[in-house]
Amino acid sequence: MHRGKGLDRRSFVKAAVAIGGASALSACLDRTENPDVPTGDVSSVPERQHAWGDSLARDDAGNAAPPTHRLLLLFDYDGDGTPTQGERETVANALGTLDRAYAWSNTGLLSAMAYSPAYFERFDAELSGVELPAPEALASFEDPVLDTPDAVLYLASDHGHVLLAAEEALTGEAETLNGVDVAGALTEVFSVATRRTGFKGAGQPAAHQDVDGVPDSEPVPEDAPLYMGFKSDYRQTQAPEDRVTIPEGAFAGGTTLHASHMTLDLGQWYEQDDRYQRVGKMFAPYHAKHGVVDGVGDNLGTDAAMDQAKPAEDAANEDGLVGHAQKLFSLRENDRPLLLRRDFDSTDGGHAGLHFLSFQRTIDEFVRTREAMNGTDLAESTPVGQRNNNGILQYIDVTHRGNYLVPPRSIRALPTPEGLDA
């Protein structure tokens, strides 16, 4: 691997995580400052794999601060028929190594192992108590690849070298992990089908603007946490972890995961649209007219102030423009959305993109949210187009979609449709 002497630290770590492998890990450890990472305490790791919130840092307003580096490993099961007890023990040992090696926090390692509809199709029994449909295109103007791996492991940490070291252990390339003996490798059971990487947080997108989809003028604000230039993780615009948890049945304590990838085309966003347009399309025309959003939106505190904006249909009729957040505002329960987003930006494929990951109680709740985002009813009955002036649809192109079940931790190793791992 290039030693990266010409790259700043943020760019170097991002490049190392994107490349992966032993040489990337070695270069990362050699080139960057790598503080000691505390080892894990298995007794303190939550049963709910998606319970990250209590272990994340918080900003001044109390919003969860997203982990900086992300890695998605998509796996194909190598066996014939249904998994064996020995394979379940191998997977349990491999995932247990992560829990023992790193503290469950953004400064350690957060993870979630999930399984696709394709995985459960190998069993004779039906999936118990959970609807897990195969992924599908969710708009007339998209034609995504429909992901069909058997499983996906989502890893997140503030330290890029932690993700790389964990991947080495999971693929059988390391005997110890953060001083802990590696008890098993996922690649004894699975093959890695795809690896996807990315980042999130103030300064990260601005440090990675030398990719397709971003104008050469490098317009992304230095403090923006996402390529489109605005903050999105307000506490009140996220579903609570309790709300997205499956409440009863064989997978009680689990959740569902939707994972899609979209490329971003930011040429018009930054070079033809002005800030009024960008604020209006991301939030609402009211926010643009009245200067509600300062900078990337830190001034908004814990919500996007959508209660100040008029209903989406009124904005579309009267302003000829409707905001992304404005369209979603009506789809709430107890004044909170249905989805808990854990998305992040990416330069996979050399193009600016977004890996949109969300936890929700049912995949249907994701589909309903996406339909609201599509704004098809507004395009049919108001002056806005299906994509033009209809939120941010004009600037995104969905390339992949996948649906998964995230079991509770105690049955995360090759579960059966009845919710058993043994």
Q: Dig out the tokens for 44 from the structure.
A: 């303190």
3-class state of residue 264 by DSSP: strand
At residue 4, the pLDDT reads 43
At residue 151, the pLDDT reads 98
At residue 15, the pLDDT reads 83
3-class state of residue 41 by DSSP: coil
Concatenating the DSSP letter of every residue in 102-158 gives S-SSTTS-EEEEEE-HHHHTTSSSPPSS---PPP---STT---EE---SEEEEEEES
At residue 7, the pLDDT reads 62
At residue 421, the pLDDT reads 58
Tens of pLDDT, residue by residue, the chain (422 residues) = 443 445 677 778 888 888 888 888 888 777 766 678 999 999 999 999 999 999 999 999 999 999 999 999 999 999 999 999 999 999 999 999 999 999 999 999 999 999 999 999 999 999 999 999 999 999 999 999 999 999 999 999 999 999 999 999 999 999 999 999 999 999 999 999 999 999 999 999 999 999 999 999 999 999 999 999 999 989 999 999 999 999 999 999 999 999 999 999 999 999 999 999 999 999 999 999 999 999 999 999 999 999 999 999 999 999 999 999 999 998 999 999 999 999 999 999 999 999 999 999 999 999 999 999 999 999 999 999 999 999 999 999 999 999 999 999 999 999 999 997 54
User: Residue 390 gets which letter from DSSP?
Assistant: B
Q: Dig out the tokens for 63 from the structure.
A: 């919003």
Beta-strand relationship, 69-77 and 151-157: antiparallel
At residue 26, the pLDDT reads 82
pTM comes to 0.94
* Sole residue written with tokens 């947080």: 201
At residue 154, the pLDDT reads 98
At residue 30, the pLDDT reads 75
For residue 411, which amino acid is it?
I
Check: CB of residue 132 under 8 Å from CB of residue 57.
no
Residue 398, beta-bridge partner list: 262
Q: Distance from CA of residue 360 to its chain's centroid?
A: 12
Check: CB of residue 408 under 8 Å from CB of residue 50.
no
